[in-house]
Amino acid sequence: MDDHRIGIGWDIHRLVTGRRLVLGGVEVPAPAGFDTHSDGDVLSHAVVDALAGAMADGDLGVHFPEDDPDAEEARSLDFVVAYAARTRERGFEVGSLDSFVVLGTVRLRPHVDAMRTNLAGALGVPIDRVSVKARSADGLGPEGRGEAASASVSLLLRPVVGRPEGG
């Protein structure tokens, strides 16, 4: 099987004081966090959207709906673990993942390696297949002003190495 698939994911959430800021499963010290029902981790959400998109299988909300009581205060990195398992069951794994996190008011670079480590672990792939980059947006838009944070992800899925043909 020589079937490769490409997925794109994006997410944005408003920031409010008194909430935790979680990105790629890493709690980042910040004066504000996500105004969401789960931990709001936009990077993990964008990863699930990219995986689901590559599989032509809906998006984050289809698999982890906001009105599901189990999603309340959920750890979004667990969504990545669950959907990565679904992807593997269908015979695919991440060959490469590239991402941007945009937030202008918090220095993210010191946390990038921990985000990469968490995502690689959740996806079950080596860390050299996962890239996380941080941008400030130079004070422009809601991310640049610190009103929101966003993440975008592109990834390549490839057949699981060692999987029998058709199995």
Which residues make up each annotated binding site? Answer: 11-13, 37-38, 45, 59-61, 64-68, 145
Residues 85, 91: Cα–Cα separation, whole Å:
10
Residues 82, 166: Cα–Cα separation, whole Å:
23
Q: What is the DSSP string of 104-156?
A: SSS--GGGHHHHHHHHHHHHTS-GGGEEEEEE-GGG-HHHHTTSEEEEEEEEE
Residues 78, 162: Cα–Cα separation, whole Å:
26
Range 63-67, long-range pairs (CB < 8 A, 24+ positions)? 64/38, 66/37
Note the maximum CA span of the chain: 52
Closest CA to 48 of 13, 88, 8: 8
Sole residue written with tokens 């993942």: 97
Residue ranges of the binding site for a divalent metal cation: 11, 13, 45
